[in-house]
Structure 1
Amino acid sequence: MKQAGIVGGLGPESTVDYYQSFIQKYQQRMNSKQTLPEIFINSINMYNIFQYISEDRLDDLADYVGGAAQQLETIGADFVIVAANTPHIVFDEVRKKVNVPMISIVEATLDQADELGLERLGLLGTKFTMEHDFFKQPFVSANKKIVVPSEDEQQLLHQKIVDELENGIVKEETKEIFLRITNQMIEEEQLDGLILGCTELPMILGVDDFEIALLNTTDIHVSKMIDATFSD
Protein backbone atom coordinates (compact mmCIF):
# COMPACT_ATOMS: atom_id res chain seq x y z
CA MET A 1 0.00 0.00 0.00
CA LYS A 2 1.37 3.41 -0.99
CA GLN A 3 1.82 6.37 1.33
CA ALA A 4 0.46 9.79 0.45
CA GLY A 5 2.26 13.07 0.89
CA ILE A 6 0.21 16.25 1.27
CA VAL A 7 1.55 19.78 0.81
CA GLY A 8 -0.90 21.50 3.16
CA GLY A 9 -1.50 24.72 5.03
CA LEU A 10 -2.99 26.32 1.92
CA GLY A 11 -5.11 27.05 3.98
CA PRO A 12 -5.23 25.21 7.27
CA GLU A 13 -9.01 24.68 7.22
CA SER A 14 -8.94 22.75 3.96
CA THR A 15 -5.90 20.75 5.10
CA VAL A 16 -7.99 19.48 8.01
CA ASP A 17 -10.75 18.64 5.53
CA TYR A 18 -8.29 16.71 3.34
CA TYR A 19 -7.00 14.77 6.35
CA GLN A 20 -10.45 13.85 7.67
CA SER A 21 -11.84 13.04 4.24
CA PHE A 22 -8.84 10.86 3.40
CA ILE A 23 -9.29 8.87 6.60
CA GLN A 24 -13.00 8.43 5.95
CA LYS A 25 -12.54 7.27 2.36
CA TYR A 26 -9.66 5.01 3.39
CA GLN A 27 -11.78 3.31 6.05
CA GLN A 28 -14.62 2.93 3.55
CA ARG A 29 -12.26 1.26 1.08
CA MET A 30 -10.93 -1.00 3.84
CA ASN A 31 -14.48 -1.60 5.10
CA SER A 32 -13.24 -1.06 8.65
CA LYS A 33 -13.28 1.70 11.24
CA GLN A 34 -10.47 -0.07 13.08
CA THR A 35 -7.74 1.02 10.69
CA LEU A 36 -6.02 4.29 9.84
CA PRO A 37 -3.82 5.33 6.93
CA GLU A 38 -0.27 6.50 7.41
CA ILE A 39 0.25 9.77 5.57
CA PHE A 40 2.71 12.66 5.55
CA ILE A 41 1.61 16.31 5.74
CA ASN A 42 4.01 19.19 5.12
CA SER A 43 2.18 22.35 6.19
CA ILE A 44 3.53 25.53 4.58
CA ASN A 45 2.47 29.19 4.65
CA MET A 46 -0.44 30.13 2.36
CA TYR A 47 0.35 33.83 2.71
CA ASN A 48 3.70 33.24 1.02
CA ILE A 49 1.74 31.72 -1.86
CA PHE A 50 -0.46 34.81 -2.19
CA GLN A 51 2.58 37.12 -2.04
CA TYR A 52 4.51 35.26 -4.72
CA ILE A 53 1.54 35.32 -7.09
CA SER A 54 0.65 38.95 -6.37
CA GLU A 55 4.26 39.95 -7.10
CA ASP A 56 4.39 37.69 -10.19
CA ARG A 57 7.24 35.70 -8.63
CA LEU A 58 6.15 32.39 -10.09
CA ASP A 59 9.65 30.92 -10.09
CA ASP A 60 9.84 31.54 -6.35
CA LEU A 61 6.40 30.02 -5.97
CA ALA A 62 7.47 26.88 -7.84
CA ASP A 63 10.61 26.61 -5.70
CA TYR A 64 8.60 27.06 -2.49
CA VAL A 65 5.92 24.49 -3.27
CA GLY A 66 8.41 22.24 -5.04
CA GLY A 67 10.68 22.27 -2.00
CA ALA A 68 7.78 21.17 0.18
CA ALA A 69 7.03 18.34 -2.25
CA GLN A 70 10.69 17.28 -2.26
CA GLN A 71 10.69 17.07 1.53
CA LEU A 72 7.71 14.71 1.38
CA GLU A 73 9.44 12.56 -1.19
CA THR A 74 12.58 12.45 0.97
CA ILE A 75 10.74 11.10 4.02
CA GLY A 76 9.00 8.37 2.05
CA ALA A 77 5.88 9.62 0.29
CA ASP A 78 5.06 7.45 -2.71
CA PHE A 79 3.03 10.22 -4.34
CA VAL A 80 2.33 13.86 -3.54
CA ILE A 81 -0.61 16.24 -3.81
CA VAL A 82 -0.88 19.99 -3.25
CA ALA A 83 -3.98 20.51 -1.10
CA ALA A 84 -5.20 23.70 -2.77
CA ASN A 85 -6.22 24.96 -6.19
CA THR A 86 -4.32 28.26 -6.38
CA PRO A 87 -0.76 26.84 -6.18
CA HIS A 88 -1.55 24.68 -9.21
CA ILE A 89 -0.65 27.76 -11.23
CA VAL A 90 2.88 26.28 -11.10
CA PHE A 91 1.92 22.61 -10.87
CA ASP A 92 3.76 21.56 -14.02
CA GLU A 93 6.97 23.14 -12.70
CA VAL A 94 6.54 21.57 -9.25
CA ARG A 95 5.88 18.16 -10.79
CA LYS A 96 9.30 18.28 -12.46
CA LYS A 97 11.04 18.81 -9.11
CA VAL A 98 10.15 15.38 -7.69
CA ASN A 99 10.58 11.83 -8.90
CA VAL A 100 7.37 10.45 -7.40
CA PRO A 101 3.98 10.93 -9.10
CA MET A 102 1.93 14.02 -8.33
CA ILE A 103 -1.86 14.15 -8.62
CA SER A 104 -3.25 17.36 -10.10
CA ILE A 105 -6.50 18.75 -8.70
CA VAL A 106 -7.22 20.31 -12.10
CA GLU A 107 -6.74 17.07 -14.02
CA ALA A 108 -8.82 15.18 -11.47
CA THR A 109 -11.66 17.71 -11.76
CA LEU A 110 -11.57 17.57 -15.56
CA ASP A 111 -11.83 13.77 -15.39
CA GLN A 112 -14.93 14.13 -13.21
CA ALA A 113 -16.49 16.66 -15.58
CA ASP A 114 -15.90 14.23 -18.44
CA GLU A 115 -17.49 11.37 -16.53
CA LEU A 116 -20.58 13.50 -15.86
CA GLY A 117 -20.75 14.76 -19.45
CA LEU A 118 -20.56 18.42 -18.41
CA GLU A 119 -19.87 21.03 -21.08
CA ARG A 120 -20.60 24.49 -19.60
CA LEU A 121 -19.12 25.06 -16.17
CA GLY A 122 -18.81 27.96 -13.77
CA LEU A 123 -15.56 28.35 -11.83
CA LEU A 124 -15.33 29.88 -8.36
CA GLY A 125 -12.10 30.32 -6.41
CA THR A 126 -9.52 32.87 -5.39
CA LYS A 127 -9.02 35.69 -7.86
CA PHE A 128 -5.75 34.03 -8.87
CA THR A 129 -7.61 30.87 -9.87
CA MET A 130 -10.38 32.76 -11.67
CA GLU A 131 -8.20 35.25 -13.55
CA HIS A 132 -5.35 32.94 -14.64
CA ASP A 133 -5.62 30.19 -17.26
CA PHE A 134 -4.07 27.25 -15.40
CA PHE A 135 -7.48 25.87 -14.38
CA LYS A 136 -9.48 27.05 -17.40
CA GLN A 137 -7.19 26.00 -20.24
CA PRO A 138 -7.39 22.19 -19.79
CA PHE A 139 -11.19 22.46 -19.87
CA VAL A 140 -11.15 24.70 -22.95
CA SER A 141 -8.79 22.26 -24.65
CA ALA A 142 -11.35 19.54 -23.90
CA ASN A 143 -14.04 21.60 -25.68
CA LYS A 144 -15.70 22.73 -22.46
CA LYS A 145 -16.71 26.29 -21.67
CA ILE A 146 -15.52 27.83 -18.40
CA VAL A 147 -17.31 30.90 -17.03
CA VAL A 148 -16.05 33.10 -14.18
CA PRO A 149 -17.65 36.06 -12.40
CA SER A 150 -16.89 39.66 -13.38
CA GLU A 151 -13.63 41.26 -12.18
CA ASP A 152 -15.39 43.15 -9.38
CA GLU A 153 -17.17 39.98 -8.28
CA GLN A 154 -13.92 38.05 -8.39
CA GLN A 155 -12.31 40.55 -6.04
CA LEU A 156 -15.28 40.39 -3.67
CA LEU A 157 -15.30 36.59 -3.56
CA HIS A 158 -11.52 36.53 -3.12
CA GLN A 159 -11.67 38.79 -0.09
CA LYS A 160 -14.42 36.69 1.47
CA ILE A 161 -12.32 33.57 0.96
CA VAL A 162 -9.13 35.09 2.38
CA ASP A 163 -10.64 37.10 5.24
CA GLU A 164 -13.30 34.62 6.33
CA LEU A 165 -13.19 31.08 4.97
CA GLU A 166 -9.40 30.73 5.21
CA ASN A 167 -9.83 31.55 8.91
CA GLY A 168 -12.72 29.14 9.48
CA ILE A 169 -15.36 31.90 9.50
CA VAL A 170 -18.67 31.10 7.78
CA LYS A 171 -21.29 33.86 7.58
CA GLU A 172 -24.83 33.53 6.24
CA GLU A 173 -24.60 36.92 4.51
CA THR A 174 -21.43 35.77 2.76
CA LYS A 175 -23.20 32.65 1.53
CA GLU A 176 -25.98 34.84 0.15
CA ILE A 177 -23.39 36.83 -1.82
CA PHE A 178 -21.89 33.65 -3.27
CA LEU A 179 -25.34 32.33 -4.19
CA ARG A 180 -26.42 35.58 -5.81
CA ILE A 181 -23.33 35.77 -8.00
CA THR A 182 -23.37 32.08 -8.85
CA ASN A 183 -27.08 31.80 -9.64
CA GLN A 184 -26.78 34.77 -11.98
CA MET A 185 -23.95 32.99 -13.82
CA ILE A 186 -25.95 29.78 -14.02
CA GLU A 187 -28.99 31.54 -15.50
CA GLU A 188 -27.16 33.81 -17.93
CA GLU A 189 -24.69 31.21 -19.21
CA GLN A 190 -26.96 28.13 -18.97
CA LEU A 191 -24.36 26.25 -16.98
CA ASP A 192 -24.63 22.51 -16.36
CA GLY A 193 -21.92 22.38 -13.71
CA LEU A 194 -20.17 24.47 -11.07
CA ILE A 195 -16.56 23.99 -9.96
CA LEU A 196 -15.73 24.84 -6.36
CA GLY A 197 -12.20 25.79 -7.35
CA CYS A 198 -11.10 26.68 -3.84
CA THR A 199 -10.76 23.99 -1.20
CA GLU A 200 -12.48 26.20 1.41
CA LEU A 201 -15.66 26.71 -0.63
CA PRO A 202 -17.35 23.46 0.55
CA MET A 203 -17.50 25.14 3.96
CA ILE A 204 -20.15 27.49 2.59
CA LEU A 205 -21.62 25.89 -0.57
CA GLY A 206 -23.02 22.38 -1.02
CA VAL A 207 -25.00 20.17 -3.38
CA ASP A 208 -28.30 21.22 -1.82
CA ASP A 209 -27.70 24.82 -2.89
CA PHE A 210 -27.88 24.14 -6.63
CA GLU A 211 -29.85 22.18 -9.19
CA ILE A 212 -26.81 21.62 -11.40
CA ALA A 213 -23.80 19.36 -10.87
CA LEU A 214 -21.41 20.59 -8.19
CA LEU A 215 -17.75 19.63 -8.50
CA ASN A 216 -16.13 19.71 -5.06
CA THR A 217 -12.44 19.75 -5.97
CA THR A 218 -11.35 18.64 -2.51
CA ASP A 219 -13.57 15.54 -2.58
CA ILE A 220 -12.52 14.74 -6.15
CA HIS A 221 -8.84 15.14 -5.29
CA VAL A 222 -9.05 12.95 -2.19
CA SER A 223 -10.79 10.21 -4.17
CA LYS A 224 -7.85 10.20 -6.60
CA MET A 225 -5.50 9.97 -3.62
CA ILE A 226 -7.35 6.90 -2.38
CA ASP A 227 -7.09 5.27 -5.83
CA ALA A 228 -3.34 5.95 -5.82
CA THR A 229 -2.94 4.59 -2.30
CA PHE A 230 -4.46 1.25 -3.26
CA SER A 231 -2.89 1.04 -6.73
CA ASP A 232 -0.33 -1.63 -7.60
Structure 2
Amino acid sequence: MKMIGLIGGMSWESSAEYYRLVNEGVRDRLGPTASARCLLWSFNFADIAALQHRGDWPALTTRMIEAARRLEAGGADVLLICTKTMHRMAADVQAAVSVPLLHIADPTADRIRAAGLRTVGLIGTAFTMEDAFYKGRLADRHGLHVIVPDDEDRATVHRIIYEELVAGKVLPGSRDAYRAIIARLVERGAEAVILGCTEIMLLVRPEDSQVPLFDTTALHAAAAIEMALSG
Protein backbone atom coordinates (compact mmCIF):
# COMPACT_ATOMS: atom_id res chain seq x y z
CA MET A 1 0.00 0.00 0.00
CA LYS A 2 1.33 3.41 -0.97
CA MET A 3 1.58 6.22 1.59
CA ILE A 4 -0.98 9.05 1.16
CA GLY A 5 0.23 12.52 2.11
CA LEU A 6 -2.56 14.90 3.15
CA ILE A 7 -1.95 18.66 3.16
CA GLY A 8 -4.70 19.72 5.53
CA GLY A 9 -5.85 22.02 8.29
CA MET A 10 -7.72 24.22 5.79
CA SER A 11 -9.95 23.71 7.71
CA TRP A 12 -9.36 20.82 10.09
CA GLU A 13 -13.10 20.06 9.83
CA SER A 14 -12.70 18.95 6.22
CA SER A 15 -9.32 17.32 6.90
CA ALA A 16 -11.01 15.11 9.48
CA GLU A 17 -13.43 14.02 6.76
CA TYR A 18 -10.53 13.15 4.46
CA TYR A 19 -8.90 11.08 7.21
CA ARG A 20 -12.17 9.27 7.89
CA LEU A 21 -12.92 8.63 4.22
CA VAL A 22 -9.51 7.25 3.26
CA ASN A 23 -9.46 4.94 6.27
CA GLU A 24 -13.03 3.73 5.78
CA GLY A 25 -12.33 3.15 2.10
CA VAL A 26 -9.23 1.06 2.77
CA ARG A 27 -11.08 -0.91 5.44
CA ASP A 28 -13.92 -1.62 3.02
CA ARG A 29 -11.46 -2.83 0.39
CA LEU A 30 -9.03 -4.81 2.55
CA GLY A 31 -10.95 -5.95 5.61
CA PRO A 32 -12.08 -4.84 9.07
CA THR A 33 -8.63 -4.32 10.60
CA ALA A 34 -7.13 -2.50 7.61
CA SER A 35 -6.49 1.24 7.56
CA ALA A 36 -4.70 3.68 5.28
CA ARG A 37 -1.00 4.42 5.42
CA CYS A 38 -1.09 8.21 5.55
CA LEU A 39 0.67 11.31 6.77
CA LEU A 40 -1.12 14.57 7.60
CA TRP A 41 0.42 18.03 7.54
CA SER A 42 -2.06 20.34 9.28
CA PHE A 43 -1.82 24.13 8.99
CA ASN A 44 -3.21 26.67 11.41
CA PHE A 45 -6.06 27.82 9.18
CA ALA A 46 -6.19 31.25 10.83
CA ASP A 47 -2.80 31.99 9.28
CA ILE A 48 -3.85 30.65 5.88
CA ALA A 49 -7.19 32.49 5.82
CA ALA A 50 -5.53 35.79 6.69
CA LEU A 51 -3.08 35.42 3.80
CA GLN A 52 -5.90 34.41 1.44
CA HIS A 53 -7.94 37.49 2.20
CA ARG A 54 -4.86 39.73 1.89
CA GLY A 55 -4.22 38.17 -1.51
CA ASP A 56 -0.70 37.09 -0.56
CA TRP A 57 -0.64 34.07 -2.86
CA PRO A 58 3.18 33.97 -3.15
CA ALA A 59 3.47 33.45 0.63
CA LEU A 60 0.77 30.79 0.49
CA THR A 61 2.55 29.03 -2.36
CA THR A 62 5.75 28.95 -0.33
CA ARG A 63 3.94 27.36 2.61
CA MET A 64 2.22 24.77 0.45
CA ILE A 65 5.47 23.78 -1.23
CA GLU A 66 7.15 23.42 2.16
CA ALA A 67 4.32 21.16 3.39
CA ALA A 68 4.48 19.02 0.24
CA ARG A 69 8.24 18.60 0.52
CA ARG A 70 7.99 17.63 4.18
CA LEU A 71 5.38 14.98 3.37
CA GLU A 72 7.49 13.66 0.51
CA ALA A 73 10.52 13.50 2.81
CA GLY A 74 8.37 11.63 5.32
CA GLY A 75 7.62 8.91 2.77
CA ALA A 76 4.43 10.02 1.02
CA ASP A 77 3.94 8.38 -2.40
CA VAL A 78 0.99 10.54 -3.47
CA LEU A 79 -0.12 13.98 -2.26
CA LEU A 80 -3.55 15.52 -1.78
CA ILE A 81 -4.32 19.17 -1.05
CA CYS A 82 -7.37 18.85 1.21
CA THR A 83 -9.08 22.03 0.03
CA LYS A 84 -10.18 23.54 -3.29
CA THR A 85 -8.90 27.08 -2.87
CA MET A 86 -5.29 26.07 -2.36
CA HIS A 87 -5.31 24.18 -5.65
CA ARG A 88 -4.66 27.65 -7.03
CA MET A 89 -0.98 26.79 -6.62
CA ALA A 90 -1.26 23.09 -7.46
CA ALA A 91 1.06 23.37 -10.48
CA ASP A 92 3.77 25.02 -8.38
CA VAL A 93 3.43 22.37 -5.69
CA GLN A 94 3.64 19.55 -8.23
CA ALA A 95 6.74 21.10 -9.81
CA ALA A 96 8.45 21.19 -6.40
CA VAL A 97 8.11 17.45 -5.63
CA SER A 98 8.73 14.19 -7.46
CA VAL A 99 5.66 12.30 -6.26
CA PRO A 100 2.25 12.82 -7.95
CA LEU A 101 -0.20 15.42 -6.70
CA LEU A 102 -3.77 14.21 -7.24
CA HIS A 103 -5.70 17.29 -8.40
CA ILE A 104 -9.15 17.57 -6.82
CA ALA A 105 -10.85 18.62 -10.07
CA ASP A 106 -9.99 15.49 -12.02
CA PRO A 107 -11.87 12.73 -10.12
CA THR A 108 -14.96 14.95 -10.01
CA ALA A 109 -14.83 15.69 -13.73
CA ASP A 110 -14.33 12.01 -14.53
CA ARG A 111 -17.44 11.08 -12.54
CA ILE A 112 -19.53 13.85 -14.10
CA ARG A 113 -18.52 12.84 -17.62
CA ALA A 114 -19.21 9.17 -16.82
CA ALA A 115 -22.74 10.20 -15.83
CA GLY A 116 -23.20 11.77 -19.26
CA LEU A 117 -23.43 15.33 -17.92
CA ARG A 118 -21.77 18.46 -19.30
CA THR A 119 -23.32 21.56 -17.70
CA VAL A 120 -22.62 21.86 -13.99
CA GLY A 121 -23.15 24.41 -11.26
CA LEU A 122 -20.25 25.20 -8.93
CA ILE A 123 -20.44 26.51 -5.36
CA GLY A 124 -17.40 27.10 -3.17
CA THR A 125 -15.28 29.91 -1.81
CA ALA A 126 -15.24 33.15 -3.77
CA PHE A 127 -11.73 32.22 -4.92
CA THR A 128 -12.97 28.92 -6.36
CA MET A 129 -16.08 30.38 -7.97
CA GLU A 130 -14.43 33.48 -9.43
CA ASP A 131 -10.89 32.42 -10.38
CA ALA A 132 -9.93 30.05 -13.20
CA PHE A 133 -7.71 27.56 -11.37
CA TYR A 134 -10.59 25.13 -10.71
CA LYS A 135 -13.44 25.91 -13.10
CA GLY A 136 -10.91 26.54 -15.87
CA ARG A 137 -9.47 23.04 -15.41
CA LEU A 138 -12.97 21.56 -15.56
CA ALA A 139 -13.60 23.39 -18.83
CA ASP A 140 -10.21 23.15 -20.53
CA ARG A 141 -9.21 19.60 -19.57
CA HIS A 142 -12.59 17.96 -19.30
CA GLY A 143 -14.91 19.92 -21.60
CA LEU A 144 -17.45 20.85 -18.93
CA HIS A 145 -19.58 23.99 -19.01
CA VAL A 146 -19.45 25.54 -15.53
CA ILE A 147 -22.10 27.89 -14.11
CA VAL A 148 -21.45 29.88 -10.92
CA PRO A 149 -23.95 31.81 -8.77
CA ASP A 150 -24.53 35.53 -9.24
CA ASP A 151 -22.68 38.14 -7.15
CA GLU A 152 -25.07 38.12 -4.20
CA ASP A 153 -25.28 34.35 -4.03
CA ARG A 154 -21.50 34.00 -4.29
CA ALA A 155 -21.11 36.35 -1.33
CA THR A 156 -23.57 34.26 0.69
CA VAL A 157 -21.87 30.97 -0.14
CA HIS A 158 -18.44 32.41 0.75
CA ARG A 159 -19.61 33.99 4.01
CA ILE A 160 -21.21 30.77 5.26
CA ILE A 161 -18.04 28.82 4.54
CA TYR A 162 -15.69 31.18 6.38
CA GLU A 163 -17.98 32.29 9.22
CA GLU A 164 -19.73 29.00 9.94
CA LEU A 165 -18.58 25.80 8.26
CA VAL A 166 -14.85 26.12 9.00
CA ALA A 167 -15.88 26.55 12.65
CA GLY A 168 -18.06 23.45 12.56
CA LYS A 169 -21.33 25.42 12.65
CA VAL A 170 -24.12 23.76 10.65
CA LEU A 171 -27.16 26.05 10.74
CA PRO A 172 -30.62 25.28 9.29
CA GLY A 173 -30.95 28.79 7.87
CA SER A 174 -27.70 28.40 5.97
CA ARG A 175 -28.87 25.06 4.58
CA ASP A 176 -32.00 26.80 3.33
CA ALA A 177 -29.86 29.50 1.71
CA TYR A 178 -27.74 26.91 -0.06
CA ARG A 179 -30.84 25.04 -1.23
CA ALA A 180 -32.15 28.23 -2.81
CA ILE A 181 -28.81 28.98 -4.48
CA ILE A 182 -28.63 25.46 -5.88
CA ALA A 183 -32.20 25.78 -7.19
CA ARG A 184 -31.26 28.98 -9.02
CA LEU A 185 -28.29 27.23 -10.66
CA VAL A 186 -30.64 24.47 -11.81
CA GLU A 187 -33.01 27.09 -13.26
CA ARG A 188 -30.06 28.39 -15.30
CA GLY A 189 -29.40 24.97 -16.77
CA ALA A 190 -27.17 23.10 -14.32
CA GLU A 191 -27.58 19.35 -14.77
CA ALA A 192 -25.62 18.72 -11.57
CA VAL A 193 -23.92 20.79 -8.87
CA ILE A 194 -20.34 20.47 -7.65
CA LEU A 195 -19.87 21.01 -3.93
CA GLY A 196 -16.70 22.95 -4.61
CA CYS A 197 -15.49 23.47 -1.07
CA THR A 198 -14.42 20.65 1.17
CA GLU A 199 -16.61 21.89 4.06
CA ILE A 200 -19.87 22.15 2.11
CA MET A 201 -20.68 18.46 2.49
CA LEU A 202 -21.09 19.20 6.22
CA LEU A 203 -24.15 21.29 5.34
CA VAL A 204 -25.67 20.04 2.07
CA ARG A 205 -27.09 16.58 1.39
CA PRO A 206 -28.47 14.96 -1.81
CA GLU A 207 -32.04 15.69 -0.74
CA ASP A 208 -31.24 19.41 -0.77
CA SER A 209 -30.94 19.45 -4.57
CA GLN A 210 -33.17 18.64 -7.56
CA VAL A 211 -30.10 17.46 -9.51
CA PRO A 212 -27.15 15.22 -8.56
CA LEU A 213 -24.58 16.67 -6.18
CA PHE A 214 -20.92 15.79 -6.62
CA ASP A 215 -19.05 15.77 -3.31
CA THR A 216 -15.49 16.53 -4.32
CA THR A 217 -14.10 15.55 -0.92
CA ALA A 218 -15.47 12.01 -1.21
CA LEU A 219 -14.40 11.68 -4.85
CA HIS A 220 -10.90 13.00 -4.12
CA ALA A 221 -10.48 10.59 -1.22
CA ALA A 222 -11.76 7.65 -3.31
CA ALA A 223 -9.26 8.44 -6.07
CA ALA A 224 -6.47 8.57 -3.49
CA ILE A 225 -7.44 5.11 -2.25
CA GLU A 226 -7.28 3.77 -5.81
CA MET A 227 -3.79 5.19 -6.24
CA ALA A 228 -2.66 3.89 -2.85
CA LEU A 229 -3.84 0.35 -3.59
CA SER A 230 -2.75 0.19 -7.22
CA GLY A 231 0.37 -1.58 -8.38
TM-score, normalised on structure 2?
0.95
Listed as ranges, the matches of 1:184-203 within 5 Å are 184-187=184-187, 189-203=188-202
Give me the whole-angstrom Cα distance separating, in 2, the residues matched to 1:230 and 1:143: 29
- Where structure 1 has 5 or more consecutive residues not aligned to the other structure, the ranges are none
**Distance (whole Å) between structure 2 residues aligned to residue 24 and residue 81 of structure 1:** 17
Q: Secondary structure at the match of 2:96?
A: coil
Alignment of 1:102-121 (within 5 A): 102-121=101-120
Mapped to 1, the partners of 2:50 and 2:132 lie a distance apart of 19
Match of 1:167 in 2: 167
Q: Which amino acid letter does the alignment assign opposite residue 111 of structure 1?
A: D
Offset at 1:69? 0.8
Larger mean CA deviation between 81-90 and 41-50 belongs to: 41-50
Q: What is the number of residues matched between the two proteins?
A: 230
Code of the aligned partner of 2:102: I
- The separation in 1 between residues aligned to 2:131 and 2:53, in whole angstroms, is 12
Q: Find the counterpart in structure 1 of residue 211 from structure 2.
A: 212
Aligned position for 1:16: 16
Distance in 2 separating the partners of 1:160 and 1:16: 19
Q: Distance in 2 between matches of 1:143 and 1:20?
A: 31
- Report the Cα distance in structure 1 between the residues aligned to 2:143 and 2:227, rounded to whole angstroms: 27
Give the RMSD, CA atoms, in angstroms.
1.2
Residue 152 (structure 1) aligned with residue 179 (structure 2):
no
Aligned-pair identity in percent equals 28
Contact 2:182–2:209 under 8 Å retained in 1: no
Cα offset, 1:35, TM superposition:
2.0
Q: 1:6 aligns to what SS in structure 2?
A: strand
TM-score by length of 1: 0.95
Q: Distance in 2 between matches of 1:85 and 1:47?
A: 17
1:19-168 mapped onto 2 (5 Å cutoff): 19-30=19-30, 32-141=31-140, 142-168=142-168
Cα pair 1:49 1:87 within 8 Å, conserved? no
Cα drift, residue 138 of structure 1? 1.9
How far is 1:45 from its partner?
Answer: 2.4
Say whether the 8 Å CA contact 2:9–2:15 is kept in structure 1: yes
Please give the alpha-carbon distance, in whole angstroms, between the structure 1 residues aligned to 2:118 and 2:13.
31
Distance 1:62 1:111 in 2: 27
Q: 1: CA distance between counterparts of 2:48 and 2:92?
A: 15
- Indicate if the aligned counterparts of 1:110 and 1:138 stay in contact, CA closer than 8 A: no
Q: Write the distance in 2 (CA, Å) between the matches of 1:162 and 1:143.
A: 30
Structure 2 distance, partners of 1:9, 1:51, is: 14
Measured in 2, the distance between the counterparts of 1:110 and 1:215 equals 9
Q: C-alpha distance in 1, partners of 2:89/2:60? A: 7
CA shift at 1:23, angstroms? 0.9
> CA separation of 1:143/1:78 partners in 2, compared to 1, >3 Å: closer, same or farther?
closer
- Aligned equivalents of 1:143, 1:19: Cα separation in 2: 31
Aligned with 1:134: secondary structure?
A: helix
Question: SS in structure 1 opposite 2:37?
Answer: coil
Shift of 1:56: 2.9
Q: Which amino acid aligns with 2:86?
A: P
1:49 CA drift (Å): 3.0
Deviation (angstroms), 1:61: 1.5
Mapped partners of 2:116, 2:54: distance in 1:
38
Q: Distance in 1 between matches of 2:91 and 2:163?
A: 29
Counterpart-to-counterpart distance in 2, 1:52 and 1:93: 17
Maintained 8 Å contact 2:138/2:144 = yes
